[in-house]
Structures are given as C-alpha cells and as structure tokens.
Amino acid sequence: MNSVSPSAAQYLGGAMQEEVLASHPETRRPPAQDPRGHFGHGAGPDGGRDGVAEPDEVDRLKAKLISAWNNVKYGWSVKSKTSFNKTSPLTLLGQTYLLNHEDEVARFSQAFVSLLWLTYRREFPQLEGSTWTTDCGWGCMLRSGQMLLAQGLLRHLLPPGWTWMGVHQLTDVDIEVLKPCSPSRSSAVSFPSFPPSRVPPQSLWGRGSGALTVTEAPRRPQRRSAETSRDRQMDATHRRLVSWFGDHPYAPFGVHQLVELGKSSGKKAGDWYGPSIVAHILRKAVAKTSEVPNLAVYVAQDCTVYKEDVMRLCDPSLLEDLSGQSSGWKSVIILVPVRLGGESLNPAYIECVKNILRLECCIGIIGGKPKHSLFFVGFQDEQLLYLDPHYCQSVVDVTQDNFPLESFHCQSPRKMSFSRMDPSCTIGFYAKNQKDFDSLCIAVSGALSSSSEEKYPIFTFVDGQGHDYGLEGQSEVPHGLPAHILPPGRLKRASKKSSMDEFVFL
C-alpha cells in the first residue's frame, strides 16, 4: 500500500493500539543461529539446504506478514487539528512563544518545522542477520533516539536560531480563534497541517473577526551575495546531517548501524529498545564515526553526571592541569536515563520536567507512553509537545544529490497529557564548550531543585568520576524504587546486575 505523501503526512489520531508484536509474541521468536554466526540454516556442504530449513521459511513468512500489516497500520494518516491555548506560553526546547499574535505563530511554526522528524521506513536494505526490511512496529525508540541525536547535531553544526529554508510560511491555513465555552476549554489556536512549499520566511497575515488567515506573502528582498553563500552552506550542512540518518548500512546514525551496535547489549532487529539502551547505542555510534570528530556523548550512570568523567571525555589534557583552559575541548551531548515513578509517572515530577524543557541547553526527551515511544520537545499547560515516529514512509535514497527533505520534517505538532507519560525516559542536553558545560551544570541543577514538592532532584551533578559499567551492565534505578537520588555522601550504587528489562520498554 502506498503511504500518504510527506507533504500531507499527519499523525494517526487517537490512542494507538499496542504493537502487533506484543499481541503475537510467538512471531518475535528469532531464527536459530548457526555456528558460522548467521541466523537460520545456511547451505550444507552439498550446496543444498538441510532437512530443517522449514522454520527459517516460516520465520521469513511471518516477518513479511508482520511487515505488511505494519505498513498498512502505520501508513494511513488521519488529519486532525491540535489546539493551542493562545493565552498560555508554549515552550519549545528552551524557547517560549505566546500564540496571541501572528508573528509569534509564524516564529513557532518555523522553529517546529525545522526539527528533524525521523519515522518508520519501509523497503530499505535488509538488516544484517535478519529478514527485516522495515522497522515498522518495533523501531520507534530507535527513531526517537535518532531525533534526540539529530537535535544535538543541529545545535552543534548550525548557528543558533537556524531554521530550515524549505518551510517558512503557512499557506492555505486558517488559525481559528475559538471562544471559550467552558472553564476547561479556554480560547485556543487550532493548528492544522503545514504544507512544505518553498516560500519566503516572512508572511502577511489576513485579519478577520474569527480567524487569522495566511494570505499572499511579500517578496523576499534581494540579499547580499555573502548571505546567499552562507545560506547555501547551511543548507548543505543540513542535507549532510540528514544523510547521516539514512536507512542504508553505511549511514553512521541510520537504523542499520544502531541495530548492529545494539547487538552487544543483547538486542536485535525486531526487539523493543528501552530509552537507556538507546542512549548507549547513540554514544557508541558517535564514538565510532569520523563524521563528527569534535563531538562526544556522555551517558549518566546511577542518575548522576560525574563532572570529571565529562572532562575526561571532552578533553583529557584538562585533567593534567585543571586550572587551565584548553582549546581542544570537544562539544558534548549529555544523556541522562531516569525513571520518574513506578508503574506510572509520579505527578510530583511534572514541574521538574517542565523546568528542564525550559532550558536552552535541553535537546529533548526520549520516552513516550507505554508501548509507544515519542520524542518530547516542549509543553503547554499540562500537555507535552512531541514528534511521533509512528508513521511509515518509503525509504529515501540519501546518497543521491538533492534528495527530497520534506519527509524528514514534520508539519503537524501534536500534544498529549503529562499524565500519560511513561516514567522511563532519557533526557538530553548539549554543551558546545567548557564554559557552556559549566553553565549547563548550574542551570540544570537549578531547574532540578526548583520544585518545592521534591526533597531531592531526579538526577544530579557531582565532582569526581564514576565506574564504567559499559553498555551491557549499565546501572539504573531499579523498578519500583524512587526516581530521585540520595544527596552526596549517601549515594548507594545500584547493582551492576540490574537489567534493562526492569524498565517499561516503550
């Protein structure tokens, strides 16, 4: 079945069903692994298949049936509108917007559409050691992790305030001003889809009694050649960054590479991945590639960011002379796996999550709701703003010049209540240099301790260094224990044997 074109891509409306793999666990049974390191049964010495080849064929058939079902399930789109309160501030990754004026609406739309949107894809090259040619139904957390890393790379490689030149104006869009009909439904702005037409960033908004309507935009003034050259350079950087997440075996942050790196922690194609596992996979992917040599990824352990470990990662020479400044300091993405409650989100942590998303150093949160991973990028009132990877699109050949970018950017913001958020998540931050890291420690610590309802923060920054557990034995908050940590001096390190299975996989 053909999916909806990227220009009309909308998220599926309403609550999603559980993944098809959860309903049919027997279909997730992997083929047997032979001594040569390949799944299934290979050709025998005589060149033919042995007598037990049938299960391998059955597994292939099951994979094809599941893929076909998921392509249908996630290939449909239902158009729906998301309402935004025009009197409440809207936060998007450290920036605040008040949607009571057309300029603010345009500014928000530019910022949101410029985020990279990475979704399920189909018909990509087969994942090694499996029969999968799509990640529909199982790769949503990997896609959310890709979006988190992509946001960090946008901060790292492009100037502050950068927006994608492909979509700057909302055309044929009515932004309705709804009159309040009850205390629970205040005046709001209704946000439909944004068509990905290439138009000037400045728009002229019509004014009416009941709606704000986009009308003809003014012509873009002639710019100096230096600015045009700079824009071309940023467009090339943007396109190169997108290509790193392509769905082919050689993309450094593509699904093929992430699945391969996940094997060391017992994960394979078709499995569900938790937010902590994905954090370590991203760390390994950045460390492995030569595309971004001046960037490092640090993953916190025991809900603690050890400053000396970050310094060692970003610039080992600083450990020899802590009083000096070094020009060799790498930029760093800090990922903090946490659990914000037991079986469900503890409401006491909602204000803390809001405070974190208000910080400019925050690059988002990967988590979601049970069995449904999402990438959280902001909030308004008591609802989270997110990007949803659960939309199946055809693979894009990013190795071609001028490959289409529209399917990598979302034109439809979506929201959900904080109360539906799964407690298991990973929070991301970015610091460009040592000064930014020092500021990040102060800002995040302030955000974590500003909640009057919590005696201790959900994670903390401490001097010194922790133990290197690696990907397989990463320590986390055990299931059922409080999500906050004890203050310095009372830290209790979790057992090295604690398992990722103690978390609710999204």
d(CA 219, CA 221): 6
pLDDT at 60: 61
* Residue 193 scores a pLDDT above 90: no
Q: Which of 324-338, 341-355, 487-501 has the lowest mean pLDDT?
A: 487-501
pLDDT at 51: 38
Q: 436 in helix, strand or coil?
A: helix
Any idea which residues carry the catalytic annotation? Answer: 140, 388, 390
pLDDT at 85: 85
Strand locations in 194-316, DSSP E? 205-207, 211-214, 295-299, 304-306
Reported as a single tens digit per residue, the pLDDT across 130-145 is 999 999 999 999 999 9
- Give percent of the chain above pLDDT 70: 61
Label residue 79 by pLDDT band (50, 70, 90): low
* Residue 13 scores a pLDDT above 60: no
* Residue 27 scores a pLDDT above 50: no
* Residue 155 scores a pLDDT above 70: yes
pTM of the full predicted structure? Answer: 0.73
pLDDT at 334: 98
Regarding predicted confidence, which is higher, 75 or 151?
151
Cα-Cα-Cα-Cα dihedral of 116, 84, 203, 388, to 10°? 20
pLDDT at 413: 87
**Which range scores top for mean pLDDT: 5-9, 399-403, 467-471?**
399-403
- Give percent of the chain above pLDDT 90: 49
* Residue 344 scores a pLDDT above 70: yes
Q: What does the pLDDT average to over 451-480?
A: 61
* Residue 496 scores a pLDDT above 50: no
Alpha helix segments (H runs only) across 3-47? 20-23
Q: What does the pLDDT average to over 158-187?
A: 56
pLDDT at 371: 80
For 215, other C-beta atoms within 10 Å of its C-beta total 11
Phi, psi for residue 133 in degrees, rounded to 5: -120, 15
Reported as a single tens digit per residue, the pLDDT across 362-420 is 999 999 988 899 999 999 999 999 999 999 999 999 999 999 999 999 888 889 999 99
d(CA 469, CA 304): 13
pLDDT at 58: 66
Q: What does the pLDDT average to over 30-54?
A: 37
pLDDT at 37: 33
* Residue 448 scores a pLDDT above 60: yes
Q: At what angle do helices 255-262 and 275-288 cross, to 10 degrees?
A: 110
Contact criterion met (CB below 8 Å) for 28 and 66: no
Q: Can you say how many angstroms the Cα of residue 318 is from the centroid of all Cα atoms in its chain?
A: 32
**Which range scores top for mean pLDDT: 152-166, 198-212, 480-494?**
152-166
Label residue 225 by pLDDT band (50, 70, 90): low
Label residue 69 by pLDDT band (50, 70, 90): low
Q: What does the pLDDT average to over 268-284?
A: 95
Label residue 316 by pLDDT band (50, 70, 90): confident
- The CA-atom distances, in angstroms, between 141 and each of 88, 121, 231, 337, 464 are 30, 14, 33, 13, 32
Contacts of 478 (CB under 8 A, 6+ apart): 494, 495, 498, 502
Per-domain residue ranges for the chain? Answer: 108-164+238-502
**Which range scores top for mean pLDDT: 173-177, 212-216, 481-485?**
173-177
* Residue 208 scores a pLDDT above 50: no
Q: Which of 78-82, 85-89, 212-216, 352-356 has the lowest mean pLDDT?
A: 212-216
Regarding predicted confidence, which is higher, 148 or 167?
148
pLDDT at 472: 43
pLDDT at 165: 82
Reported as a single tens digit per residue, the pLDDT across 239-253 is 999 999 999 999 999
Label residue 64 by pLDDT band (50, 70, 90): low
Q: What does the pLDDT average to over 225-248?
A: 88
